[in-house]
Amino acid sequence: MALLHSLIRRLRRRGAVLKDAPPLTPGLERRIRQSFDEAAGDEEHFPSTIDPRMEHVRLLVREFAPLGSPRIADIGCGKGRFARALAAEIPGARLVCSDVSLNMLAHVRPPLHACAASMTALPFGGGLFDAAYATESLEHAVDIPSAVAQICRIVRPGGRIVIIDKNAEHWGRLKTPEWERWFSRTELEALLARSCRQVRSQPISYWADVEPDGMFLAWIAER
């Protein structure tokens, strides 16, 4: 019986981002921030480095390098592992890393720029960036429509946005805090399409020679 109830709960939550998200109260924001402040000490699960050959990095480089010497925002940057890789891989790129956790941001050092902010209220002017991305962070934003609108707002027309996150169809495969949400391809495509001209999504694996298992999706948009 307990198993049945758990299955029903999972099915209800699957893909239901807009319908069943909890209210983003100051108390919940504080709990999320505290949880990641504590997690910053866990280098195994929240690493500060990434292998630049990983497909998640290659996709960002492929999308952003053609923009010239782009100004790029890493939204929910954690310890800045992606931003460090991109700064090394894209000539002239300037990376601004934002996150709610000061303990995570403590790992973000020059030439990367650090900014303490929630993605639901980004303190940047409209169109300031040529590109923005969020890797496994949008799933923690709770107010997902506001976060997506903010990410789109700070990118100039013609710029690029990439979201890499988990697939709602695989909900239940990992233990998750109560505020976390995963996304279906269509629901995040629809949110991005509110502000972007072209939106597409694709499954992505860690390595180019490994077939994606569907757990991770990449949404790619032109502002």
Q: Minimum distance between the CB of residue 47 and ligand SAM, rounded to whole angstroms?
A: 7
| Minimum CB–partner distance for residue 40 and ligand SAM (Å) | 8
Whichever of 146 and 197 has its CB closer to ligand SAM, that residue is 146
Which chain residues interact with ligand SAM by CB under 6 A?
32, 36, 76-78, 81-82, 99-101, 104, 118-120, 135-137, 140-141
Q: How far apart are CA 35 and CA 30, in angstroms?
A: 8
Nearest residue (CB) to ligand SAM, 90 versus 114: 114
C-beta separation of 60 from 133 below 8 A: yes
Q: Which is nearer to ligand SAM, 8 or 178 (CB)?
A: 178
Q: Which long-range contacts (CB under 8 A, 24 or more apart) does 188-191 make?
A: 188/148, 188/163, 188/217, 188/219, 189/219, 191/144, 191/145, 191/148, 191/149
Let me know if 107 is exposed, middle or buried by CB neighbors in 10 A (0-12, 13-18, 19+): buried
Nearer to ligand SAM, 101 or 201 (CB): 101
Taking the complex as a whole, the smallest distance from the CB of residue 78 to ligand SAM amounts, in Å, to 3
Work out how close the CB of 187 gets to ligand SAM at its nearest, in angstroms, rounded to a whole number: 18
**From the CB of 69, what's the least distance to ligand SAM, in Å?**
23
H or E stretch including 135? strand 129-135
Q: The tokens 């805090």 sit on which residue?
A: 177
Report the length, in residues, of the chain: 223
Which of 181/223 has CB closer to ligand SAM? 181
Residues 67, 73, 79, CA angle at the centre, nearest 5°? 130
